[in-house]
Structure 1
């Protein structure tokens, strides 16, 4: 894993937040909608009700997609894990648009995994994206992040690229470190939950940096070197 993506905003929304066209009811528990992402339209099957899943696509997903497009060099060429994939729409968009090596994940539930696989197939992503199941709890999420970020080891080729750029005088802006955790933390989460998560990250030895547009980057506090790339906005 070089980078992880997370959009907890998918847990909250109002009915008037939808900008997508509802197309048809496929089953009692599902609805299919066409959603516009930058440069493409995706047909996404969503749960009309599910006891564990956030059910639908919310504005935070599209805001995160726009931010990633504007900062494309930060994620290109990386191995990604998306935590809290929901329908898998963002991961599918990134695979089709960026050709990203990405793994989805969500709660430990067969229906969610099968729905992500369905959405992959109907949008031409085959074979379907690999998937990991996890549980819903901030403390366990923080433990998972801490383990992934602190246990990651740079491959020799990437370590060499970092050293070469440093030896050349650091002519490029510093982009995201290897590895990094990117998350979109949008409105309706609440200050209490926000403090619970971010304070927990700090206590676990992780550094939280706001990159703009309510997008945050989380890395180990003792991480000494980032990967040198040129940012474009």
Structure 2
């Protein structure tokens, strides 16, 4: 794992007031009673994504922050080209599918420990003509999420000369270290929740850097990295 991507929409309840993303084409509500199929516009392509009409774990919708994050990643594609990526909180799998089709990346999806989510991601892969993306399950809670991030970052052993802490710019482009946790904090989340997550990361020995456009990079602190 070189980069972990995260758009944390499925961690929080609905009803945050954020505007809906405008989809291209028409909805297909006849797929199943429990699903709705929509055509969504991503940079350079349309994807057909099956979403849950309702899901108890809130992994049902494709949130607007996903599209903003996709735009940012396209603008800074050198950050992700040629890297292995795990996406935490994949929901429908749309972002991972977009990255696989656009950049042919080695991507792994993950979300709650729920077979319906995993099967729906696999369905969306097949509909959009990409190989079914490997998937792992995790649990819903800040503490466990932070523990997972910390483990993934600190257990990674980059080749000599490949790490660079913290992220930096080169000719206007962002250069990320290996490994890195890249996340989009797009939804209208309360300051208390936001502080809880970021303070938890810092307490776990991780460094949080804002890269702009509500995109953040999380890496191990240099002293924490040297101790592992």
Q: Same fold (TM over 0.5)?
A: yes
Within 1, Cα distance between the matches of 2:191 and 2:161? 41
> What's the offset of the Cα at 1:224?
9.5
Counterpart of 2:175 in structure 1 is 175
Counterpart of 1:229 in structure 2 is none
Counterpart of 1:231 in structure 2 is none
| 2:21 matches 1:18 | yes
For residues 33 and 15 of structure 1, do their structure 2 counterparts lie closer, same or farther at Cα, with a shift above 3 Å needed? Answer: farther
Please identify runs of 4+ aligned residues in structure 1 that moved more than 3 A.
9-16, 160-163
Deviates more, 1:20-29 or 1:85-94: 20-29
TM-score by length of 1: 0.86
Within 2, Cα distance between the matches of 1:106 and 1:88? 9
Counterpart of 2:121 in structure 1 is 116
- Count of residues in correspondence between the two structures: 214
Secondary structure in structure 2 of the residue aligned to 1:17: coil
Counterpart of 1:205 in structure 2 is 205
TM-score by length of 2: 0.88
Counterpart of 2:154 in structure 1 is 150
For residues 189 and 162 of structure 1, do their structure 2 counterparts lie closer, same or farther at Cα, with a shift above 3 Å needed? Answer: closer
Q: CA RMSD in A?
A: 2.1
Alignment partner for residue 72 of structure 1, among 50, 65, 77? Answer: 77
Counterpart of 2:216 in structure 1 is 216
Within 2, Cα distance between the matches of 1:53 and 1:195? 22
Within 1, Cα distance between the matches of 2:223 and 2:181? 13
Counterpart of 1:59 in structure 2 is 64
For residues 16 and 39 of structure 1, do their structure 2 counterparts lie closer, same or farther at Cα, with a shift above 3 Å needed? Answer: same
CA contact (8 A) 2:186 2:214 kept: yes
